[in-house]
Protein backbone atom coordinates (compact mmCIF):
# COMPACT_ATOMS: atom_id res chain seq x y z
CA UNK A 1 0.00 0.00 0.00
CA UNK A 2 2.86 2.34 0.87
CA UNK A 3 4.57 1.46 -2.45
CA UNK A 4 1.39 2.27 -4.39
CA UNK A 5 1.06 5.64 -2.60
CA UNK A 6 4.71 6.49 -3.41
CA UNK A 7 4.15 5.79 -7.14
CA UNK A 8 1.03 7.97 -7.16
CA UNK A 9 2.92 10.79 -5.45
CA UNK A 10 5.75 10.51 -7.99
CA UNK A 11 3.33 10.65 -10.93
CA UNK A 12 1.56 13.66 -9.39
CA UNK A 13 4.89 15.43 -8.85
CA UNK A 14 5.97 14.78 -12.46
CA UNK A 15 2.65 16.05 -13.81
CA UNK A 16 2.91 19.15 -11.64
CA UNK A 17 6.48 19.75 -12.86
CA UNK A 18 5.46 19.30 -16.52
CA UNK A 19 2.48 21.63 -16.09
CA UNK A 20 4.68 24.26 -14.47
CA UNK A 21 7.31 23.84 -17.18
CA UNK A 22 4.71 24.23 -19.92
CA UNK A 23 3.22 27.27 -18.20
CA UNK A 24 6.70 28.84 -17.89
CA UNK A 25 7.30 28.23 -21.59
CA UNK A 26 3.97 29.81 -22.45
CA UNK A 27 4.72 32.79 -20.22
CA UNK A 28 8.17 33.21 -21.78
CA UNK A 29 6.74 33.00 -25.31
CA UNK A 30 4.04 35.50 -24.41
CA UNK A 31 6.72 37.88 -23.13
CA UNK A 32 8.52 37.58 -26.47
CA UNK A 33 5.32 38.64 -28.25
CA UNK A 34 5.03 41.65 -25.94
CA UNK A 35 8.65 42.65 -26.65
CA UNK A 36 8.03 42.39 -30.40
CA UNK A 37 4.69 44.20 -30.32
CA UNK A 38 6.13 47.06 -28.27
CA UNK A 39 9.38 47.14 -30.26
CA UNK A 40 11.60 46.68 -27.16
CA UNK A 41 14.88 46.26 -29.03
CA UNK A 42 16.94 46.25 -25.84
CA UNK A 43 14.94 43.35 -24.40
CA UNK A 44 14.99 41.61 -27.78
CA UNK A 45 18.78 42.01 -27.76
CA UNK A 46 18.87 40.31 -24.37
CA UNK A 47 16.78 37.45 -25.75
CA UNK A 48 19.14 37.10 -28.71
CA UNK A 49 22.18 36.94 -26.41
CA UNK A 50 20.59 34.20 -24.31
CA UNK A 51 18.74 32.14 -26.95
CA UNK A 52 20.29 33.09 -30.27
CA UNK A 53 18.54 34.99 -33.04
CA UNK A 54 16.89 31.95 -34.66
CA UNK A 55 15.45 30.47 -31.47
CA UNK A 56 11.95 29.08 -32.08
CA UNK A 57 8.90 29.86 -29.97
CA UNK A 58 5.34 28.54 -29.63
CA UNK A 59 6.23 24.90 -30.27
CA UNK A 60 8.70 25.69 -33.06
CA UNK A 61 6.14 27.63 -35.10
CA UNK A 62 7.73 31.12 -34.85
CA UNK A 63 11.01 32.99 -34.61
CA UNK A 64 11.57 36.62 -33.71
CA UNK A 65 11.57 37.38 -37.44
CA UNK A 66 8.20 35.78 -38.20
CA UNK A 67 6.69 37.45 -35.12
CA UNK A 68 7.96 40.80 -36.39
CA UNK A 69 6.39 40.05 -39.79
CA UNK A 70 3.07 39.17 -38.12
CA UNK A 71 3.22 42.54 -36.38
CA UNK A 72 3.93 44.37 -39.68
CA UNK A 73 7.05 45.82 -38.07
CA UNK A 74 9.35 46.47 -41.03
CA UNK A 75 11.93 48.30 -38.91
CA UNK A 76 12.23 45.34 -36.55
CA UNK A 77 12.43 42.98 -39.53
CA UNK A 78 15.36 45.02 -40.88
CA UNK A 79 16.97 45.06 -37.44
CA UNK A 80 16.71 41.27 -37.08
CA UNK A 81 17.94 40.59 -40.62
CA UNK A 82 20.96 42.83 -39.94
CA UNK A 83 21.57 40.77 -36.80
CA UNK A 84 21.66 37.57 -38.88
CA UNK A 85 18.09 36.22 -38.74
CA UNK A 86 17.57 33.30 -41.11
CA UNK A 87 15.28 34.59 -43.87
CA UNK A 88 14.78 31.07 -45.28
CA UNK A 89 14.07 29.17 -42.07
CA UNK A 90 11.33 26.51 -42.35
CA UNK A 91 9.11 26.26 -39.25
CA UNK A 92 6.56 23.48 -39.56
CA UNK A 93 4.24 25.00 -42.17
CA UNK A 94 5.76 28.47 -42.07
CA UNK A 95 8.66 30.40 -43.61
CA UNK A 96 9.21 34.18 -43.37
CA UNK A 97 8.03 34.66 -46.98
CA UNK A 98 5.02 32.40 -46.48
CA UNK A 99 4.12 34.56 -43.46
CA UNK A 100 4.19 37.58 -45.78
CA UNK A 101 2.04 35.78 -48.34
CA UNK A 102 -0.57 34.72 -45.80
CA UNK A 103 -1.13 38.27 -44.53
CA UNK A 104 -0.22 40.19 -47.71
CA UNK A 105 2.85 41.90 -46.24
CA UNK A 106 4.17 42.93 -49.65
CA UNK A 107 6.65 45.58 -48.44
CA UNK A 108 8.28 43.15 -46.01
CA UNK A 109 8.29 40.43 -48.68
CA UNK A 110 10.18 42.71 -51.07
CA UNK A 111 12.70 43.58 -48.37
CA UNK A 112 13.31 39.90 -47.56
CA UNK A 113 13.73 39.03 -51.25
CA UNK A 114 16.38 41.72 -51.65
CA UNK A 115 18.17 40.40 -48.55
CA UNK A 116 18.66 36.74 -49.31
CA UNK A 117 15.21 35.16 -49.18
CA UNK A 118 14.66 32.42 -51.76
CA UNK A 119 11.48 33.15 -53.71
CA UNK A 120 10.55 29.47 -54.07
CA UNK A 121 11.49 28.14 -50.62
CA UNK A 122 8.76 25.70 -49.56
CA UNK A 123 7.45 24.15 -46.36
CA UNK A 124 6.88 20.51 -45.40
CA UNK A 125 3.78 20.36 -47.64
CA UNK A 126 5.77 21.74 -50.60
CA UNK A 127 3.78 24.95 -50.49
CA UNK A 128 5.70 28.00 -51.69
CA UNK A 129 4.97 31.67 -50.90
CA UNK A 130 3.37 32.00 -54.36
CA UNK A 131 1.06 29.06 -53.67
CA UNK A 132 -0.06 30.61 -50.38
CA UNK A 133 -0.51 34.06 -51.92
CA UNK A 134 -2.66 32.46 -54.63
CA UNK A 135 -4.68 30.47 -52.12
CA UNK A 136 -5.59 33.41 -49.86
CA UNK A 137 -5.68 36.03 -52.63
CA UNK A 138 -2.81 38.21 -51.39
CA UNK A 139 -2.51 40.07 -54.69
CA UNK A 140 0.02 42.68 -53.51
CA UNK A 141 2.46 40.03 -52.33
CA UNK A 142 1.63 38.02 -55.44
CA UNK A 143 2.87 40.89 -57.61
CA UNK A 144 6.08 41.14 -55.59
CA UNK A 145 6.75 37.41 -55.91
CA UNK A 146 6.12 37.62 -59.65
CA UNK A 147 8.68 40.41 -60.01
CA UNK A 148 11.21 38.11 -58.38
CA UNK A 149 10.32 35.28 -60.83
CA UNK A 150 8.56 32.88 -58.48
CA UNK A 151 7.81 29.61 -60.27
CA UNK A 152 4.05 29.45 -61.03
CA UNK A 153 4.29 25.85 -62.22
CA UNK A 154 5.69 24.48 -58.94
CA UNK A 155 3.31 21.89 -57.48
CA UNK A 156 2.67 21.02 -53.84
CA UNK A 157 2.00 17.55 -52.41
CA UNK A 158 -1.59 17.78 -53.68
CA UNK A 159 -0.26 18.47 -57.18
CA UNK A 160 -1.74 21.97 -57.31
CA UNK A 161 0.16 24.79 -58.98
CA UNK A 162 -0.50 28.42 -58.04
CA UNK A 163 -3.21 29.06 -60.66
CA UNK A 164 -5.06 25.88 -59.73
CA UNK A 165 -4.87 26.89 -56.06
CA UNK A 166 -6.33 30.32 -56.80
CA UNK A 167 -9.15 28.81 -58.86
CA UNK A 168 -9.82 26.16 -56.21
CA UNK A 169 -10.33 28.78 -53.50
CA UNK A 170 -12.24 31.24 -55.70
CA UNK A 171 -9.55 33.95 -55.80
CA UNK A 172 -10.50 35.45 -59.17
CA UNK A 173 -8.15 38.45 -59.16
CA UNK A 174 -5.19 36.28 -58.21
CA UNK A 175 -6.13 33.74 -60.89
CA UNK A 176 -6.28 36.44 -63.58
CA UNK A 177 -2.85 37.74 -62.58
CA UNK A 178 -1.41 34.23 -62.62
CA UNK A 179 -2.80 33.38 -66.06
CA UNK A 180 -0.91 36.26 -67.66
CA UNK A 181 2.15 35.63 -65.52
CA UNK A 182 2.36 31.98 -66.57
CA UNK A 183 2.46 33.00 -70.22
CA UNK A 184 5.28 35.48 -69.60
CA UNK A 185 7.16 33.14 -67.27
CA UNK A 186 7.10 30.22 -69.69
CA UNK A 187 8.97 32.09 -72.40
CA UNK A 188 12.63 31.22 -72.40
CA UNK A 189 12.82 29.29 -69.13
CA UNK A 190 12.24 25.77 -70.41
CA UNK A 191 14.40 23.98 -73.01
CA UNK A 192 13.12 24.18 -76.58
CA UNK A 193 10.54 21.47 -77.23
CA UNK A 194 7.35 20.74 -79.09
CA UNK A 195 4.35 18.48 -78.78
CA UNK A 196 2.12 17.07 -81.47
CA UNK A 197 0.71 16.71 -83.90
CA UNK A 198 -2.80 17.32 -82.65
CA UNK A 199 -5.65 17.08 -85.13
CA UNK A 200 -8.75 19.25 -84.77
CA UNK A 201 -11.64 18.51 -87.08
CA UNK A 202 -13.06 21.90 -88.00
CA UNK A 203 -15.62 20.81 -90.61
CA UNK A 204 -16.78 17.76 -92.54
CA UNK A 205 -14.05 18.30 -95.15
CA UNK A 206 -11.32 20.16 -93.25
CA UNK A 207 -9.03 19.44 -90.31
CA UNK A 208 -6.44 21.60 -88.62
CA UNK A 209 -3.19 19.91 -87.65
CA UNK A 210 -1.11 21.76 -85.06
CA UNK A 211 2.00 21.50 -82.90
CA UNK A 212 2.60 23.33 -79.62
CA UNK A 213 6.10 24.81 -79.68
CA UNK A 214 8.46 26.31 -77.11
CA UNK A 215 11.35 28.17 -78.78
CA UNK A 216 13.59 28.87 -75.82
CA UNK A 217 16.31 30.56 -77.89
CA UNK A 218 13.92 33.27 -79.07
CA UNK A 219 11.71 33.25 -75.96
CA UNK A 220 8.61 32.27 -77.92
CA UNK A 221 5.79 29.86 -77.21
CA UNK A 222 3.56 29.41 -80.24
CA UNK A 223 1.37 27.13 -82.36
CA UNK A 224 2.53 25.83 -85.74
CA UNK A 225 -0.44 24.65 -87.82
CA UNK A 226 -1.67 23.66 -91.26
CA UNK A 227 -5.11 22.87 -92.62
CA UNK A 228 -5.69 19.63 -94.54
CA UNK A 229 -8.55 18.19 -96.55
CA UNK A 230 -10.57 15.27 -95.16
CA UNK A 231 -11.53 12.74 -97.85
CA UNK A 232 -14.39 10.32 -97.17
CA UNK A 233 -13.98 10.84 -93.44
CA UNK A 234 -10.25 10.05 -93.51
CA UNK A 235 -7.33 12.44 -92.94
CA UNK A 236 -3.85 11.44 -94.09
CA UNK A 237 -0.83 13.69 -93.64
CA UNK A 238 2.89 13.64 -92.98
CA UNK A 239 4.37 15.26 -89.90
CA UNK A 240 5.68 18.69 -90.84
CA UNK A 241 7.37 20.22 -87.81
CA UNK A 242 11.00 19.81 -86.74
CA UNK A 243 12.02 16.14 -86.62
CA UNK A 244 8.50 14.76 -87.11
CA UNK A 245 8.18 13.09 -90.52
CA UNK A 246 5.81 10.25 -89.54
CA UNK A 247 2.82 9.43 -91.72
CA UNK A 248 -0.45 9.82 -89.81
CA UNK A 249 -3.98 8.65 -90.60
CA UNK A 250 -7.12 9.55 -88.69
CA UNK A 251 -10.42 7.83 -89.47
CA UNK A 252 -13.11 10.22 -88.28
CA UNK A 253 -16.16 8.23 -89.37
CA UNK A 254 -15.13 4.84 -88.07
CA UNK A 255 -18.33 2.99 -87.03
CA UNK A 256 -18.88 2.29 -83.34
CA UNK A 257 -18.12 -1.25 -82.32
CA UNK A 258 -20.60 -3.42 -80.45
CA UNK A 259 -19.68 -2.77 -76.85
CA UNK A 260 -20.92 -6.21 -75.81
CA UNK A 261 -18.46 -7.89 -78.20
CA UNK A 262 -15.63 -5.71 -76.89
CA UNK A 263 -16.45 -6.50 -73.25
CA UNK A 264 -16.36 -10.31 -73.33
CA UNK A 265 -13.99 -11.86 -75.88
CA UNK A 266 -13.65 -15.60 -76.45
CA UNK A 267 -10.27 -16.34 -77.98
CA UNK A 268 -7.34 -18.63 -77.20
CA UNK A 269 -4.76 -16.34 -78.76
CA UNK A 270 -1.79 -14.95 -76.81
CA UNK A 271 -2.21 -11.79 -74.74
CA UNK A 272 0.35 -9.12 -73.83
CA UNK A 273 -0.74 -6.79 -71.00
CA UNK A 274 1.07 -3.59 -70.05
CA UNK A 275 0.73 -1.56 -66.85
CA UNK A 276 0.64 2.20 -66.26
CA UNK A 277 2.84 3.91 -68.88
CA UNK A 278 2.38 7.56 -67.84
CA UNK A 279 3.85 9.07 -70.99
CA UNK A 280 7.11 7.07 -70.95
CA UNK A 281 7.23 6.62 -74.72
CA UNK A 282 10.82 5.44 -75.12
CA UNK A 283 10.44 2.70 -72.51
CA UNK A 284 7.17 1.58 -74.08
CA UNK A 285 8.79 1.29 -77.52
CA UNK A 286 11.70 -0.70 -76.12
CA UNK A 287 9.31 -3.05 -74.29
CA UNK A 288 7.23 -3.67 -77.42
CA UNK A 289 10.23 -4.21 -79.70
CA UNK A 290 12.12 -6.44 -77.25
CA UNK A 291 9.09 -8.70 -76.83
CA UNK A 292 8.26 -8.94 -80.55
CA UNK A 293 4.99 -7.05 -80.42
CA UNK A 294 6.29 -4.60 -83.03
CA UNK A 295 9.38 -4.51 -85.24
CA UNK A 296 12.04 -1.79 -85.34
CA UNK A 297 9.76 0.30 -87.57
CA UNK A 298 6.98 0.06 -84.97
CA UNK A 299 4.92 -2.18 -87.23
CA UNK A 300 2.61 -4.75 -85.62
CA UNK A 301 4.08 -8.29 -85.70
CA UNK A 302 1.98 -9.84 -82.91
CA UNK A 303 -0.36 -11.53 -85.40
CA UNK A 304 -3.82 -12.26 -84.01
CA UNK A 305 -2.61 -11.52 -80.47
CA UNK A 306 -4.30 -9.19 -78.01
CA UNK A 307 -2.42 -6.19 -76.64
CA UNK A 308 -3.98 -4.80 -73.45
CA UNK A 309 -3.13 -1.41 -71.94
CA UNK A 310 -4.37 -1.52 -68.35
CA UNK A 311 -4.85 2.29 -68.08
CA UNK A 312 -2.92 5.42 -67.09
CA UNK A 313 -1.23 6.04 -70.42
CA UNK A 314 -1.40 9.76 -69.60
CA UNK A 315 -0.01 12.23 -67.00
CA UNK A 316 3.42 12.51 -65.35
CA UNK A 317 5.60 11.79 -68.41
CA UNK A 318 6.58 14.23 -71.15
CA UNK A 319 5.63 12.15 -74.23
CA UNK A 320 1.97 11.41 -73.64
CA UNK A 321 0.95 12.49 -77.15
CA UNK A 322 3.53 10.16 -78.71
CA UNK A 323 2.23 7.27 -76.59
CA UNK A 324 -1.35 7.93 -77.71
CA UNK A 325 -0.41 8.10 -81.40
CA UNK A 326 1.49 4.82 -81.13
CA UNK A 327 -1.46 3.09 -79.45
CA UNK A 328 -3.84 4.53 -82.05
CA UNK A 329 -1.68 3.31 -84.95
CA UNK A 330 -1.13 -0.14 -83.44
CA UNK A 331 -4.89 -0.56 -83.00
CA UNK A 332 -5.34 0.05 -86.74
CA UNK A 333 -2.52 -2.34 -87.67
CA UNK A 334 -3.64 -5.08 -85.27
CA UNK A 335 -7.10 -5.27 -86.84
CA UNK A 336 -5.57 -5.92 -90.27
CA UNK A 337 -3.77 -8.96 -88.81
CA UNK A 338 -6.77 -10.30 -86.92
CA UNK A 339 -5.46 -9.02 -83.59
CA UNK A 340 -6.73 -6.27 -81.34
CA UNK A 341 -5.58 -3.52 -78.98
CA UNK A 342 -7.68 -3.12 -75.81
CA UNK A 343 -7.40 0.18 -73.92
CA UNK A 344 -8.67 0.27 -70.33
CA UNK A 345 -9.72 3.48 -68.59
CA UNK A 346 -7.40 4.42 -65.73
CA UNK A 347 -7.97 6.97 -63.01
CA UNK A 348 -5.59 9.37 -64.77
CA UNK A 349 -7.56 9.23 -68.02
CA UNK A 350 -10.65 10.08 -65.98
CA UNK A 351 -8.75 12.89 -64.23
CA UNK A 352 -7.76 14.44 -67.56
CA UNK A 353 -11.25 14.12 -69.04
CA UNK A 354 -12.59 15.78 -65.89
CA UNK A 355 -10.39 18.83 -66.58
CA UNK A 356 -7.96 18.17 -63.72
CA UNK A 357 -4.44 18.93 -64.97
CA UNK A 358 -2.49 18.67 -61.71
CA UNK A 359 -0.44 15.66 -62.77
CA UNK A 360 0.79 16.76 -66.19
CA UNK A 361 4.49 17.15 -66.94
CA UNK A 362 5.98 20.64 -66.73
CA UNK A 363 6.52 20.56 -70.50
CA UNK A 364 2.75 20.48 -71.05
CA UNK A 365 2.18 23.26 -68.54
CA UNK A 366 4.65 25.47 -70.41
CA UNK A 367 3.24 24.66 -73.86
CA UNK A 368 -0.42 25.08 -72.94
CA UNK A 369 -0.18 28.08 -70.61
CA UNK A 370 2.22 29.76 -73.02
CA UNK A 371 -0.37 29.43 -75.77
CA UNK A 372 -3.26 30.43 -73.48
CA UNK A 373 -5.09 27.13 -73.80
CA UNK A 374 -5.99 24.44 -71.30
CA UNK A 375 -4.36 21.03 -71.50
CA UNK A 376 -7.87 19.60 -71.40
CA UNK A 377 -8.55 21.27 -74.77
CA UNK A 378 -6.37 18.55 -76.31
CA UNK A 379 -8.83 15.84 -75.19
CA UNK A 380 -12.16 17.13 -76.49
CA UNK A 381 -14.35 15.02 -78.77
CA UNK A 382 -12.99 16.63 -81.95
CA UNK A 383 -9.25 16.65 -81.18
CA UNK A 384 -7.05 13.61 -81.85
CA UNK A 385 -5.29 11.64 -80.50
CA UNK A 386 -6.74 12.92 -77.20
CA UNK A 387 -10.30 12.03 -78.18
CA UNK A 388 -9.42 8.33 -78.10
CA UNK A 389 -9.47 8.43 -74.28
CA UNK A 390 -13.24 8.81 -74.48
CA UNK A 391 -13.55 5.28 -75.84
CA UNK A 392 -11.41 3.53 -73.23
CA UNK A 393 -13.25 0.71 -71.48
CA UNK A 394 -13.97 0.11 -67.81
CA UNK A 395 -12.79 -3.46 -68.32
CA UNK A 396 -12.66 -6.46 -70.61
CA UNK A 397 -12.81 -10.23 -70.13
CA UNK A 398 -10.63 -12.19 -72.58
CA UNK A 399 -10.99 -15.97 -72.33
CA UNK A 400 -12.11 -15.78 -68.66
CA UNK A 401 -9.31 -13.34 -67.75
CA UNK A 402 -10.61 -10.05 -66.34
CA UNK A 403 -8.62 -6.88 -67.11
CA UNK A 404 -9.43 -3.71 -65.14
CA UNK A 405 -7.33 -0.76 -64.02
CA UNK A 406 -7.47 -0.84 -60.21
CA UNK A 407 -9.47 -4.01 -59.65
CA UNK A 408 -13.15 -4.75 -59.08
CA UNK A 409 -13.70 -4.84 -55.35
CA UNK A 410 -16.00 -7.19 -53.47
CA UNK A 411 -18.02 -4.13 -52.44
CA UNK A 412 -18.55 -3.05 -56.06
CA UNK A 413 -19.29 -6.60 -57.22
CA UNK A 414 -22.14 -6.77 -54.69
CA UNK A 415 -23.89 -3.88 -56.48
CA UNK A 416 -24.63 -6.21 -59.41
CA UNK A 417 -23.56 -3.85 -62.20
CA UNK A 418 -22.45 -6.02 -65.16
CA UNK A 419 -19.14 -5.13 -66.81
CA UNK A 420 -20.83 -4.35 -70.12
CA UNK A 421 -23.06 -1.91 -68.24
CA UNK A 422 -19.99 -0.20 -66.74
CA UNK A 423 -18.54 0.15 -70.23
CA UNK A 424 -21.80 1.66 -71.46
CA UNK A 425 -21.88 4.12 -68.56
CA UNK A 426 -18.36 5.38 -69.25
CA UNK A 427 -19.02 5.61 -72.98
CA UNK A 428 -22.17 7.67 -72.36
CA UNK A 429 -20.40 9.90 -69.83
CA UNK A 430 -17.62 10.87 -72.23
CA UNK A 431 -19.69 10.72 -75.44
CA UNK A 432 -23.08 12.20 -74.47
CA UNK A 433 -24.50 11.98 -78.01
CA UNK A 434 -24.43 8.20 -78.29
CA UNK A 435 -27.84 6.45 -78.33
CA UNK A 436 -27.80 4.88 -74.88
CA UNK A 437 -30.88 5.62 -72.80
CA UNK A 438 -30.58 5.55 -69.03
CA UNK A 439 -32.50 7.08 -66.15
CA UNK A 440 -30.48 10.17 -65.01
CA UNK A 441 -30.64 9.24 -61.32
CA UNK A 442 -29.55 5.66 -61.98
CA UNK A 443 -26.81 6.96 -64.28
CA UNK A 444 -25.39 9.23 -61.58
CA UNK A 445 -25.68 6.63 -58.80
CA UNK A 446 -23.93 3.92 -60.80
CA UNK A 447 -21.18 6.29 -61.96
CA UNK A 448 -20.61 7.32 -58.34
CA UNK A 449 -20.02 3.65 -57.50
CA UNK A 450 -17.56 3.25 -60.38
CA UNK A 451 -15.62 6.37 -59.35
CA UNK A 452 -15.68 5.66 -55.60
CA UNK A 453 -12.70 4.41 -53.59
CA UNK A 454 -14.13 0.91 -54.05
CA UNK A 455 -14.56 1.49 -57.79
CA UNK A 456 -12.50 -0.05 -60.56
CA UNK A 457 -10.51 3.15 -61.21
CA UNK A 458 -9.33 3.87 -57.64
CA UNK A 459 -9.49 0.68 -55.55
CA UNK A 460 -6.27 -0.37 -53.76
CA UNK A 461 -7.59 -3.06 -51.41
CA UNK A 462 -6.00 -5.99 -53.23
CA UNK A 463 -2.50 -4.78 -52.39
CA UNK A 464 -2.81 -2.65 -49.29
CA UNK A 465 -4.97 -1.61 -46.39
CA UNK A 466 -5.92 2.03 -45.89
CA UNK A 467 -7.72 3.79 -43.01
CA UNK A 468 -11.01 3.45 -44.93
CA UNK A 469 -10.46 0.29 -47.00
CA UNK A 470 -9.56 -3.11 -45.51
CA UNK A 471 -7.29 -5.45 -47.45
CA UNK A 472 -9.29 -7.87 -49.58
CA UNK A 473 -9.54 -11.55 -48.68
CA UNK A 474 -9.26 -14.66 -50.85
CA UNK A 475 -12.98 -15.31 -50.45
CA UNK A 476 -13.75 -11.80 -51.68
CA UNK A 477 -11.68 -12.08 -54.85
CA UNK A 478 -13.24 -15.49 -55.52
CA UNK A 479 -16.68 -13.88 -55.25
CA UNK A 480 -15.65 -11.14 -57.70
CA UNK A 481 -14.26 -13.61 -60.23
CA UNK A 482 -17.37 -15.80 -60.10
CA UNK A 483 -19.61 -12.73 -60.44
CA UNK A 484 -17.82 -11.58 -63.58
CA UNK A 485 -17.29 -15.00 -65.12
CA UNK A 486 -13.51 -14.96 -64.79
CA UNK A 487 -10.74 -17.19 -63.47
CA UNK A 488 -8.09 -14.49 -63.10
CA UNK A 489 -7.91 -10.73 -62.64
CA UNK A 490 -5.18 -8.48 -64.08
CA UNK A 491 -4.80 -5.00 -62.53
CA UNK A 492 -2.59 -1.92 -62.62
CA UNK A 493 -2.89 1.32 -60.58
CA UNK A 494 -0.96 0.32 -57.44
CA UNK A 495 2.77 0.03 -58.08
CA UNK A 496 4.70 -3.23 -57.61
CA UNK A 497 8.41 -3.94 -58.02
CA UNK A 498 7.78 -6.99 -60.20
CA UNK A 499 4.94 -9.12 -61.56
CA UNK A 500 4.05 -12.04 -59.30
CA UNK A 501 0.71 -13.84 -58.79
CA UNK A 502 -1.23 -13.17 -55.58
CA UNK A 503 -4.29 -14.68 -53.89
CA UNK A 504 -3.29 -18.24 -54.80
CA UNK A 505 -2.62 -17.30 -58.40
CA UNK A 506 -5.90 -15.52 -59.07
CA UNK A 507 -4.62 -11.91 -59.16
CA UNK A 508 -1.77 -10.45 -61.24
CA UNK A 509 -0.79 -6.83 -60.44
CA UNK A 510 1.24 -5.52 -63.42
CA UNK A 511 1.93 -1.85 -62.66
CA UNK A 512 5.71 -2.09 -62.57
CA UNK A 513 6.84 1.59 -62.84
CA UNK A 514 8.31 2.72 -66.14
CA UNK A 515 10.22 5.66 -64.68
CA UNK A 516 11.50 4.61 -61.26
CA UNK A 517 15.24 4.29 -60.84
CA UNK A 518 16.36 0.76 -60.02
CA UNK A 519 13.14 -0.87 -61.28
CA UNK A 520 13.14 -2.80 -64.57
CA UNK A 521 9.82 -2.29 -66.44
CA UNK A 522 7.86 -5.48 -67.07
CA UNK A 523 4.70 -6.64 -68.82
CA UNK A 524 2.58 -9.79 -68.59
CA UNK A 525 2.52 -12.35 -71.40
CA UNK A 526 -0.26 -14.96 -71.36
CA UNK A 527 0.48 -17.58 -74.00
CA UNK A 528 -1.93 -19.78 -75.99
CA UNK A 529 -1.69 -22.49 -73.30
CA UNK A 530 -2.60 -19.92 -70.64
CA UNK A 531 0.78 -19.95 -68.99
CA UNK A 532 1.69 -16.60 -67.42
CA UNK A 533 5.08 -15.00 -68.08
CA UNK A 534 6.71 -11.88 -66.69
CA UNK A 535 8.54 -10.18 -69.58
CA UNK A 536 11.08 -7.41 -69.01
CA UNK A 537 11.91 -4.38 -71.12
CA UNK A 538 14.99 -6.29 -72.27
CA UNK A 539 12.91 -9.15 -73.69
CA UNK A 540 13.66 -11.65 -70.92
CA UNK A 541 10.59 -13.69 -69.96
CA UNK A 542 10.16 -15.83 -66.83
CA UNK A 543 7.34 -18.30 -66.18
CA UNK A 544 5.38 -17.19 -63.09
CA UNK A 545 2.23 -19.34 -63.23
CA UNK A 546 0.78 -22.26 -65.20
328-368 tens-digit pLDDT: 999 999 999 999 999 999 999 999 999 999 899 989 999 99
> What is the pLDDT at residue 296?
97
DSSP classification of residue 43:
H
Cα–Cα dist 157/179, whole Å: 21
The pLDDT confidence band at residue 203, using thresholds 50, 70 and 90, is: very high
* DSSP annotation string for 202-244: -SSSEEEEEEEEEETTTTEEEEEEEEEE-BTTEEEEE--STT-
Domain 27-186 has CATH 3.30.70.2740: no
Digit-coded pLDDT (tens) for 109-118:
999 999 989 9
Contact 325, 239 (CB under 8 A): no
> What is the pLDDT at residue 127?
94
> What is the pLDDT at residue 27?
47
Secondary structure class of 145 (helix, strand, coil) = helix
Cα–Cα dist 164/472, whole Å: 35
Q: Which of 386, 259, 407, 264 is nearest to 313 (CA)?
A: 386
In terms of phi and psi (left: phi > 0; alpha: psi -120 to 50; beta: otherwise), the region of 230 is beta
> What is the pLDDT at residue 18?
38
> What is the pLDDT at residue 16?
37
> What is the pLDDT at residue 2?
42
Q: Stretch 190-216: mean pLDDT, rounded?
A: 95
**Fold topology of 259-346+392-545:** Purple Acid Phosphatase; chain A, domain 2 (3.60.21)
> What is the pLDDT at residue 217?
79
Digit-coded pLDDT (tens) for 481-529:
999 999 999 999 999 999 999 999 999 999 999 999 899 999 999 999 9
> What is the pLDDT at residue 22?
38
Long-range (24+ apart) CB contacts under 8 A made by 526-530 are: 526/270, 526/271, 526/272, 526/273, 526/401, 527/270, 528/268, 528/269, 528/270, 530/399
Residue 253 has pLDDT above 90, yes or no: no
> What is the pLDDT at residue 290?
98
* Between residues 8 and 76, the one the model is more confident about: 76
Cα–Cα dist 385/71, whole Å: 55
Q: At what angle do helices 172-186 and 129-136 cross, to 10 degrees?
A: 150
Contacts for 81 with CB less than 8 Å, ≥ 6 apart: 65, 87, 111, 112, 115, 116
Q: Stretch 245-265: mean pLDDT, rounded?
A: 90
Residue 258 has pLDDT above 90, yes or no: no
Amino acid sequence: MKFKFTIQLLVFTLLLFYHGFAQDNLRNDSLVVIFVNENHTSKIDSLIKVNGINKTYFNDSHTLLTLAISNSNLNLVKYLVDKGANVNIVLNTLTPLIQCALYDKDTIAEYLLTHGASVDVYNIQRNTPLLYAARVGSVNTLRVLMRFRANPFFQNFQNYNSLEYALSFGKTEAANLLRDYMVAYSKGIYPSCFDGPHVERISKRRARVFYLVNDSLNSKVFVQSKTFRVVNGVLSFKGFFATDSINYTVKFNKPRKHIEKETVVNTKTKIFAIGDIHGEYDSLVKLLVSNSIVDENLTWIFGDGRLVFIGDLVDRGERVTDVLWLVYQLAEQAELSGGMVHTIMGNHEAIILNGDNRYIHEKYQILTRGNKISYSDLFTQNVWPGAMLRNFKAGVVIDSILFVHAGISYQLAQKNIPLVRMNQLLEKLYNPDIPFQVDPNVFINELNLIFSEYGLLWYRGYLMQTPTIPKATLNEINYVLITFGAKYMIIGHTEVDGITPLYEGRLFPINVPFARRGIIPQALLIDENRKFWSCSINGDCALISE
